[in-house]
Structure 1
Amino acid sequence: RVLGLIVAKLLFLDDKQANEGKMARQLNALVRKEACADAARVAELGTALYLSKAEDKNGGRDKNSILGDVCEAVMGALYLDGGLPAAEDFFFQFWAAQLDNLPGNNKDPKSQLQEWALSHQLGLPQYFEVGRSGPDHRPEFQISVKLGKWSASAKGFSKQDAERDAAQDLLLQVSQKND
């Protein structure tokens, strides 16, 4: 994918001594669907979409899944039309805020929770789907995460989002208990 190529090149040229784990976390933060959707919002790509009336009415112009896909498609088209420099120009223009805020140890909450759990000899967090609601074309998942005596749950329109939010909630719980 064009986006992955651009980000990998940027991260490698930025810090040739960075370890693979750090670069992988940074790459994942910049290429995930939410990052693409944020860039699409900055580029105002949602205003150019042709959507069904139902999708438009349901907020399709601001859905991460749609905006993320559109953003990647635009980058692919720019690459095919103008080569890597055109795609890189788009990337640097619309990912600027995300690049500025990219921490050196950017870890998602699930990774942070796993590292915390292992450092406290608690084993790995366990994730369970405890509920599912909504229509088949847009289900909402409720996920619970358990770790020792702690647990948290969260909802999301993808299992990954719900797991991430549940992990974040559990991290807050354990950090408050350990303060």
Structure 2
Amino acid sequence: MAHAQALANTPVAQLDVPRYLGQWHEIAHLPMFFQRQCKDTITATYSARPDGSITVHNACRTHDGSMDSADGQARRVEGSPGALQVRFAPAWLGWLPWVWADYWVIDLDPDYRWAVVGSPSRRYLWVLSRTPGMSRSQFEQLRDRAARRGYPVDKLVIAAPLE
């Protein structure tokens, strides 16, 4: 059996931010401390801010059935269209470089129906969709490409239905 060719872990070359804005449904993610309370119905909603940055509103249904949310801000990385930096720390801490985390769009549907977001460290990975579910075959293709970029996809937490 031939080995699949490795893919570079780099942001996409083009990202049309106005098309990227709006609501995304999380299909899967690598486990992380700040999402430990989320069970399902996980969404990320992006909206433009007057200063050119992006408001980030993350929400999820928790294990006790209540809804939880967090608000943050994203900014573009100069010279790298598919790379953003995100912070959920208070605005007055925004000047500190360590409060900003890399948010790379590493795979993107030409029609912006799905996106895969990762990080240079490969510690973060999200599979996002404009709809609350995704076909299993589509998910497996995205999972395979993330694996070829070096992400530990065997640890993915599935957060939405796969049809």
- State TM-score, norm by structure 2: 0.27
Q: Which has the higher helix share?
A: 1
- State TM-score, norm by structure 1: 0.26
Q: Which has the higher strand share?
A: 2
